[in-house]
Amino acid sequence: MFDIAIVGGGMVGAALAVATAQAGIKVALLERQTPGVLTDNCDFDLRVSAINRRSEAWLQQLGAWQQLSVKRLAPYATLKAFEGDAAPLDFTAAELGESHLGHIIENLHIQQALWQQLPDTVQQFCPVQLSGYQQFEDHACLQTDQGEIKARLLIAADGAQSQLKQLAGIGSQGWQYKQACLLVHVKTSYDALSMTWQQFTPQGPRAYLPLPGKQASLVWYDDHLRIQQLAALPSQQLEQQIKQHFPAALREFSVVKQGYFQLTRSHANQYVKGRLVLVGDAAHTINPLAGQGVNLGFADAECLSALLIKQFTAGADLAAPALLAQYERERRKANLLMMSAMDVFYQVFSSKLKPLAQLRRLGLQVAAKAGPLKTYVGKYAAGLV
């Protein structure tokens, strides 16, 4: 019997496995797909995340940060938002007394570092197919193609389409946004800027994320049809479109590859059901506008692992209702706050109504000058408060 069985070995599930197993908890980690392997010289993967300072500190504590290759990290010290010719709103690490605000890192790279850091005591089931689950008074059981796996506590870290959440009959509230987003990996004629910028347009934002060396990841938000059409274009035609619709600050570049994603907001109606707990995208998906999704997932995993380790040290039940309720209380509130903030942001910046557009420009100008408030927002975005 395992203490905990984690379904999903993506960034969040793997981090939780490392944290709990390092404290002596007996962990089973189930992953459907064998994780891809990255080496220093291989091509960059399209899926990248902006990892904030709080997540960085936790990954460092787990020893996973030290497994990352510096050749595949792009730190940024400035975050800039602008619209038309209005004065930009920028947050700099220097004004917060910090060396940097975050890093752009491939999801696969983070997952790989975490898997390298898994203690030998973690039993890995990978690749594995889950077919069912049951709960009993003192344990829960997963049915898989590798047999039954029993644990005191089950954790669903299996992403936005969580099978375990569905098997448990946990519903969600949410919707699909009117916009989709195109990710484009480009080679640039200059070294990556130590900056990430976002330009707001009536059709949706355009963003630049630095990648190591002479590379970058561009993000283009627009309505679904437009994004699908752009994603299907040959490289040279896409380059022309980007030149027409991105700010001139992008300068010379060539397209390497592209892919597009639907944007969905969803929030599970409950994070806990008996001996089952949800973390990361299994519990919530958020508009990626400000790159906060996996940072929220890491915060879930950090909170849950701290509670579990305390309980384990005291020799108490890892599925005690009061413990799991505390996790849900803490994390639901924080996640909802960030999700709602992103929705206000999305509504205000995607509106084509003239008064709202004027208010938005004014808002950016006021925010650019608002000392303590601006400092607070900068720290919040970087995960420093």
- 102-121 residues near ligand FAD, rule: CB under 6 A: 107
- For residue 258, the tally of other CB atoms under 10 A from its CB is 20
What DSSP element (H or E) covers 153?
A: strand 147-156
Number of residues that bind ligand FAD (CB under 6 A): 32
Minimum gap (Å) between residue 144 Cβ and ligand FAD: 8
CA distance 112 to 56: 15
The answer for residues whose C-beta is within 8 angstroms of residue 68's C-beta and 6 or more apart is: 105, 109, 110, 113
Minimum gap (Å) between residue 6 Cβ and ligand FAD: 9
Per CB under 6 A, the list member of 49, 172, 196, 305 interacting with ligand FAD is 49
Give the closest residue to 224 by CA, choosing from 172, 166, 177, 167. 177
Minimum gap (Å) between residue 190 Cβ and ligand FAD: 22
Choice between 93 and 227, CB closer to ligand FAD: 227
Task: Specify the amino acid at residue 258.
Answer: Q
Choice between 209 and 324, CB closer to ligand FAD: 209
Told to check if 159 binds ligand FAD by CB under 6 A, we report yes
The answer for residues whose C-beta is within 8 angstroms of residue 65's C-beta and 6 or more apart is: 56, 59, 113
Told to check if 242 binds ligand FAD by CB under 6 A, we report no
Q: Edge-to-edge strands of the sheet including 206-211?
A: 89-92, 78-83, 195-200, 206-211, 215-223, 172-188, 253-268, 284-285
- Terminus-to-terminus CA distance in the chain, angstroms? 39
Pairing relation of β-strands 206-211 and 195-200? antiparallel
Q: Which residue is nearest to ligand FAD (CB)?
A: 10
Told to check if 218 binds ligand FAD by CB under 6 A, we report no
Give me 221's structure tokens. Answer: 């938000």
Told to check if 230 binds ligand FAD by CB under 6 A, we report no
- 162-191 residues near ligand FAD, rule: CB under 6 A: 163, 181, 183
CA distance 292 to 105: 13
Told to check if 11 binds ligand FAD by CB under 6 A, we report yes
Pairing relation of β-strands 215-223 and 48-52? unpaired
Told to check if 75 binds ligand FAD by CB under 6 A, we report no
The answer for residues whose C-beta is within 8 angstroms of residue 64's C-beta and 6 or more apart is: 15, 18, 110, 113, 114, 116, 117
Told to check if 261 binds ligand FAD by CB under 6 A, we report yes
Per CB under 6 A, the list member of 4, 10, 151, 273 interacting with ligand FAD is 10
Specify the stretch interacting with ligand FAD by CB under 6 A; choose among 27-35, 90-98, 187-195, 348-356.
Answer: 27-35
Minimum gap (Å) between residue 291 Cβ and ligand FAD: 3
- In 49-84, which positions are buried (b, 16+ CB within 10 angstroms) versus exposed (e)? bbbbbbbbebbeebebbebbeeebbbbbbbbbbbbe
Specify the stretch interacting with ligand FAD by CB under 6 A; choose among 20-28, 59-67, 151-159, 369-377.
Answer: 151-159
Residue with token string 């902006």: 50
Minimum gap (Å) between residue 161 Cβ and ligand FAD: 7
Give me 282's structure tokens. Answer: 């299994």
Specify the stretch interacting with ligand FAD by CB under 6 A; choose among 36-44, 280-288, 331-339, 364-372.
Answer: 280-288
Minimum gap (Å) between residue 46 Cβ and ligand FAD: 9
Give me 275's structure tokens. Answer: 């001996």
Beta bridge partners of residue 100, listed in sequence order: none
Specify the stretch interacting with ligand FAD by CB under 6 A; choose among 20-28, 29-37, 79-87, 147-155.
Answer: 29-37
Minimum gap (Å) between residue 315 Cβ and ligand FAD: 30
Per CB under 6 A, the list member of 5, 6, 7, 140 interacting with ligand FAD is 7
Choice between 52 and 188, CB closer to ligand FAD: 52
Choice between 10 and 204, CB closer to ligand FAD: 10
- 281-340 residues near ligand FAD, rule: CB under 6 A: 281, 288, 291-295, 297
Interface contacts to ligand FAD, rule CB under 6 A: 7-13, 30-33, 49-50, 107, 130, 157-160, 163, 181, 183, 261, 280-281, 288, 291-295, 297
